[in-house]
């Protein structure tokens, strides 16, 4: 079946440091890939997405590139801010063996990011 | 503004009681989903519905029930059969014509069973 593996957290950084959160996946067919962010006590917000190989999703200074050869979708940001402190989820949507997905998302376990001033 | 609302934000219940969590969307989305979030485990799918009057079990449906009588509403009932109901519950919706399957999430309901 489909699965997503994220790097173990929590991740603690100083402001302006470089961020990488690793994400690898296993899926049938050609999945769409997503990064969602969850701020404390809130629901999930879509951060960025990529829908085919070599696509780069970007938003708010965050980037991730869909790498089919390594089945990865690592999240990066060149200079983090205190306001980036949140939980980050990698997710995919892929068809099942019958060729349908019903829009279901498969999530990684989430990575807690804390940025200190 | 279009979006998804969940109520209440916090819910406390005694063990053995059924409780219903509300989810309403005004995005005109056909598909709706319920997820459960536990610390360190990501999100797990409870139930989903592609159209009105139809829904399917997700990965952890035992102890839960849903209904989809209106396009805008997808309430979740946590029954007394759910062995460990304390969790954060998230509702989501999706436009069925979106082939990339982007989902939009509500703010969540934190259920605590005493």
- Over residues B16-45, the pLDDT tens digits come to 899 999 999 999 999 999 999 998 778 999
Q: How far apart are CA A94 and CA B104, in angstroms?
A: 17
- The percentage of chain A sitting over the pLDDT mark of 70, rounded to a whole number, equals 93
Q: What is the pLDDT of residue A97?
A: 53
What are the residues facing A23 on neighbouring strands? A6
* CA B27 to mean position of chain CA atoms: 16
B91-113 average pLDDT score:
88
Contact present, A67 and A82 (Cβ < 8 Å): no
Measured between CA atoms, the residue of chain B closest to residue A49 is: B102
The answer to whether the beta carbons of residues B105 and A39 sit under 8 Å apart is: no
Say whether B90 and A43 touch across the interface (CB within 8 A). yes
CB-based contact, A46 to chain B, within 8 Å: yes
How far off is chain B from A95, nearest CA to CA, in Å?
11
The radius of gyration of chain B's CA atoms, rounded to the nearest angstrom, is 13
Q: How many Å apart are CA A13 and CA B6, to the nearest integer?
A: 33
Q: How many CB atoms lie within 10 A of CB A56?
A: 10
């Amino acid at each position: 079946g489909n699965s997503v593996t994220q790097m173990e957290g929590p991740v603690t950084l100083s402001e302006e440091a470089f961020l990488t959160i690793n994400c690898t996946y296993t899926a049938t067919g050609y999945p769409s890939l997503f990064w969602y962010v969850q701020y404390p006590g809130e629901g999930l917000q879509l951060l960025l997405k990529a829908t085919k190989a070599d696509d780069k999703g970007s938003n708010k200074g965050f980037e991730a590139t869909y790498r089919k050869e390594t089945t990865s979708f690592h999240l990066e940001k060149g200079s983090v801010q205190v306001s980036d402190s949140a939980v980050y989820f990698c997710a995919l949507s892929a068809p099942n063996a019958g060729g349908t997905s019903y829009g279901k998302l498969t999530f990684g376990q989430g990575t807690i990011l804390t940025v200190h001033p | 503004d279009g979006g998804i609302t969940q109520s209440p934000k916090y819910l406390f219940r005694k063990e053995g009681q059924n409780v219903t969590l509300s989810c309403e969307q005004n995005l005109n989305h056909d598909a709706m989903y319920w997820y459960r979030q536990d610390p360190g485990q990501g999100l797990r799918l409870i139930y989903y519905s592609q159209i009105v009057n139809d829904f399917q079990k997700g990965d952890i449906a035992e102890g839960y029930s849903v209904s989809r009588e209106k396009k805008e509403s997808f309430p979740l009932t946590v029954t007394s059969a759910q062995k460990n109901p304390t969790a954060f519950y998230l509702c989501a919706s999706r436009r069925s014509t979106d082939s990339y399957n982007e989902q939009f999430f509500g703010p969540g309901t934190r259920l605590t069973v005493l």
